[in-house]
């Protein structure tokens, strides 16, 4: 644990904001060097987006065809200026360590190292037998999809699992493994009306803002909690100057769902809002036009038997250790969304902490930045280690 913590401290000291290409690459090299003592060879894979750093793949070839993939990411959401402005850095306080990436996800990377080190010392034969492939996305926080191919091309035929080291969930005493994540689509709605002089030719105008105001209500109404479907209208803009009936208005947002069919229905319902609007000019019935664009998509990772089978191993390991383990379906995305259909995938192997993506601290303590809980590492590392060993043992028996 002291070695893992020291590694984590040094990782947190390297700013690796997604847009800080040099910082992400520096962290990649540092990570490769840290794992080289366990016998891993490094491959740096350039991102499709040239402003992002390299993805990192570390491989340790085993003596058998069995392979296990461990997945984390290099980037954080905090630009260097923000860290400086909020004095946000490595800061131990009791059982907590505050700092950028302590929890999301450099703590997860430290957890990977701990589990591998435990397997190497406690089960050296297994460590040598299995091919270990470790993947770090350089730009997970911006949902870079090229990482999907980086992993898929390198998964071995007999990959027993892809294990994602995002943060642990908690419900009371229970540790929650992540077995599903929502898919997410982002969209833009552009309404084109007809501009007109607001004083002289008001009746000639078709007000794009008025149309958008009606359209966004329909979008929000597509949300359906009973099907875990949410739409969020996130930004609106429109109009130019005050003496003009606005000719254009734009809204952007996202939608999310767990089930692929719900996701597809949601997308179709959104698309169906395109076409002529009901807002028309009084003079000649000129209609506003509504255009719907899907800007980006991350597919859902739905509940599936392969993932459930892995989760059962973690629950079983929890019983052995006296740690209650359960599962959760999470609304946020991870690299699990990109790979779950290629190999059996489980997420939430990281340590416990909180306040991800927050760097601010208020004097009264009502606002606290991201932290990781130090005492959560060892029990979780034990849980991960035992479950991984059981997974390999089961594959040996087959
Ligand atoms: Zn993360």
* pLDDT tens for each residue of 249-304: 999 999 999 999 999 999 999 999 999 999 999 999 999 999 999 999 999 999 99
pTM: 0.91
Tell me phi and psi for residue 144, to 5 degrees.
-70, 120
| 73 Cα–ligand 1 center, Å | 7
Residues with C-beta atoms within 5 A of ion ligand 1? 104-105
| 177 Cα–ligand 1 center, Å | 15
Quote the crossing angle between the two packed helices 377-397 and 106-122, to the nearest 10°: 50
| 187 Cα–ligand 1 center, Å | 23
CA angle (371, 301, 252) in 5-degree steps: 75
| 108 Cα–ligand 1 center, Å | 9
| 220 Cα–ligand 1 center, Å | 28
| 378 Cα–ligand 1 center, Å | 20
pLDDT for 262 equals: 97
| 363 Cα–ligand 1 center, Å | 27
| 329 Cα–ligand 1 center, Å | 16
Q: Which residues pair with 56 in a beta bridge?
A: 44, 136
For 286, residues 6+ apart whose C-beta sits below 8 A from its C-beta are 194, 206, 280
Q: Please check whether residue 267 is in contact with residue 185, taking contact to mean a CB–CB distance below 8 angstroms.
A: yes
| 147 Cα–ligand 1 center, Å | 14
Question: Residue 143's pLDDT band (boundaries 50, 70, 90)?
Answer: confident
pLDDT for 398 equals: 80
Q: Please check whether residue 271 is in contact with residue 187, taking contact to mean a CB–CB distance below 8 angstroms.
A: no
Hey, is 137 helix, strand or coil? strand
Q: What are the tens digits of pLDDT across the range 157-189?
A: 999 999 999 999 999 999 999 999 999 999 999
């Amino acid at each position: 644990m002291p070695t893992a913590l020291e590694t984590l401290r040094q990782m947190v000291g390297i700013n690796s904001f997604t847009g800080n290409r040099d910082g992400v690459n520096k962290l990649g090299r540092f990570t490769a060097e840290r794992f080289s003592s366990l016998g891993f060879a490094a491959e740096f894979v350039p991102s499709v987006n040239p402003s992002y750093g390299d993805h990192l793949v570390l491989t340790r070839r085993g003596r058998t065809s069995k392979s296990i993939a461990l997945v984390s990411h290099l980037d954080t959401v905090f630009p260097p200026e923000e860290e400086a402005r909020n004095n946000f850095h490595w800061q131990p306080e009791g059982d907590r360590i505050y700092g950028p990436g302590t929890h999301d996800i450099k703590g997860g990377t430290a957890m990977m190292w701990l589990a591998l080190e435990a397997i190497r010392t406690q089960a050296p034969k297994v460590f040598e037998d299995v091919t270990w492939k470790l993947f770090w996305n350089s730009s997970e926080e911006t949902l870079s999809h090229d990482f999907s191919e980086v992993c898929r091309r390198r998964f071995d035929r007999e990959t027993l699992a892809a294990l994602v080291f995002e943060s642990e969930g908690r419900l009371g005493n229970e540790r929650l493994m992540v077995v599903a994540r929502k898919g997410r689509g982002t969209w833009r709605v552009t309404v084109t009306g007809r501009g007109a002089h607001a004083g002289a030719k008001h009746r000639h105008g078709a007000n794009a803002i008025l149309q958008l105001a009606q359209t966004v209500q329909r979008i929000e109404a597509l949300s359906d909690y009973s099907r875990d479907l949410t739409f969020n209208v996130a930004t609106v803009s429109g109009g130019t100057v005050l003496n003009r009936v606005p000719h254009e208005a734009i809204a952007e947002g996202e939608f999310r769902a767990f089930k692929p069919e719900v996701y597809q229905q949601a997308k179709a319902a959104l698309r169906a809002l395109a076409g002529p609007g009901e807002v028309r000019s009084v003079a000649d019935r000129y209609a506003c036009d509504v255009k719907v664009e899907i800007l980006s998509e991350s597919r859902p990772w739905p509940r599936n038997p392969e993932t459930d089978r892995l989760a059962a191993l973690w629950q079983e390991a929890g019983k052995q250790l006296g740690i209650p383990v359960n599962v959760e379906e999470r609304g946020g995305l991870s690299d699990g969304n990109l790979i779950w259909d290629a190999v059996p995938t489980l997420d939430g192997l990281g340590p416990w902490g909180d306040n991800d993506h927050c760097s601010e601290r208020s004097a009264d303590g009502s606002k606290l930045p991201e932290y990781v809980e130090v005492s959560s590492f060892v029990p979780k590392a034990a849980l991960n280690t035992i479950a991984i060993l059981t997974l390999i043992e089961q594959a040996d028996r087959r």
